[in-house]
Homo-oligomer: A and B are copies of this chain.
Amino acid sequence: MKNCLKVLRAENDWSQQDLANRLGVSRQSVNAIETGKYDPSLPLAFKIADIFAMTIEDIFERGQEEGE
């Protein structure tokens, strides 16, 4: 599941730590999601969408799972 978190962070000039603080998660979690190590939980995906004032569908791209 791809996402454009890195670009959104850049547009806001936020470090991974900045975003992690706003989300209430660790910097490593943000990094892992950005680098595709795993997908966020649904509640965290909602928080991310809220912070950037976008929908989950706008930030996370479907059709990128390997189990399909």
Which A residues are within 8 Å of any B CB, using their own CB?
Answer: 1, 39-43, 45-46, 49-50, 55-57, 60, 62, 65, 67
Copies in the complex: 2
Residues of chain B contacted by A60 (CB below 8 angstroms): 42, 46
Question: Could you jot down 13 A-B contacts, CB within 8 Å?
Answer: A39-B41, A39-B43, A41-B41, A42-B42, A42-B45, A45-B45, A45-B56, A46-B60, A49-B57, A55-B57, A56-B56, A56-B57, A57-B57
Q: Considering the complex, give the chain B residue whose CB is closest to the CB of A55.
A: B57
CB proximity of A32 to chain B, nearest CB, Å: 13
Residues of chain B contacted by A1 (CB below 8 angstroms): 42-43, 46
